[in-house]
Structures are given as structure tokens and as C-alpha cells.
Amino acid sequence: MNKLVTFFRETSMGRFLIGAGIILIIFGCIVRSFAKDNANYIKTDAVVTKTELFEEADEKNNTEALYTVDVKYTVDGTEYEEEYGVFSGYKVGDQVTISYDPKNPAEIAQSARPGSSKLEGYLFILAGVAALAAGIVSLARAAQKHKALKEQEKEWTNG
């Protein structure tokens, strides 16, 4: 039983890194797919029309109040008013840049630096691959150490 506990203790970092690597790779792929989905969105200016308290500020944890924000914008002469998201710091009348789906202008997304989500996706994937590789190396080292201890144990028992 003690050998099993030792083995699990010795391999815990490797198992953690492999799990974390897989999660980071999956998350990176998801981020990239969102970037790909929003790649053909068109940027336009919008005006904040409504802010509604979503979560109060917490001075103890040093967090700001969050508000759901609605915006109004015009596409091809048609005016749209949609929920933009949850933010802190926006006030009614503020100008924001949004991106809308040209096939469905009522579908909007936050505008970001061009290609930033795609780059962030690649960074998550890269970090995931690095964690996965480190986990495999850690498991290989633990296996070598376990093998060396078994050989040493045989030498001691055979005298």
C-alpha cells in the first residue's frame, strides 16, 4: 500500500500538468473558433442607451459594480437596440465600437483588436502543449525513479 501511495505522490505533478495541458488546448480551440465565427463581423459605432445593475461593488474584495449594458446602432437605415454585455464604467450616452453580423445585424459582439482572439487562442494552445509536454516528462522521470528504486530494493533483498 505504501508503494502505491508513493507512486501516486511522485506522479501527481505530471498528472496535473497533463490535465491542465488538455484543458488549455481545448480552451484555445474554443477561443479560436469564436474568433473565426466573428471574423466577418462589421464594426460600427453605437451609443449606450441603458445600464442596469448586475452586481454591486464589493469594497472588501476591491471589485467594481457591474452593469448590463444596452446599445443602439444603425445598419442600412434600420435602428437596432441590443444587449451589449456586462461591464463596469459605461454610462448612458457613451460611445462604443461594436461588431455586428452582416447576415443578422441584431447579433453583436464586442469589438477587439483585429485578430486578437485568434492570437489568444494560439497562446492558450501553445501553453497547453507546453504543460502537456512537461507532464509527460514529469511522468517519465517518476517512472525512471520508480524503476531505480525497485532495482535498489532487489539489490538489498538479495544482499
pTM flag (> 0.85): no
Q: What is the pLDDT of residues 92-136, one digit of tens each?
A: 999 988 888 888 888 887 655 444 566 777 889 999 999 999 999
**Per-residue model confidence (pLDDT) at position 111:** 57
- Please name which of 6, 5, 24, 1 lies closest in space to residue 149, comparing C-alpha atoms: 6
In this structure, what are the phi and psi dihedrals at residue 16, rounded to the nearest 5 degrees? Answer: -65, -50
Q: Reply yes or no on whether the pLDDT at 4 is more than 90.
A: no
Is there a contact between 71 and 81 (Cβ–Cβ < 8 Å)?
Answer: yes
Is there a contact between 111 and 1 (Cβ–Cβ < 8 Å)?
Answer: no
Q: What is the pLDDT of residues 37-96, one digit of tens each?
A: 566 788 889 999 998 888 877 777 777 888 889 999 999 899 999 888 888 888 899 998
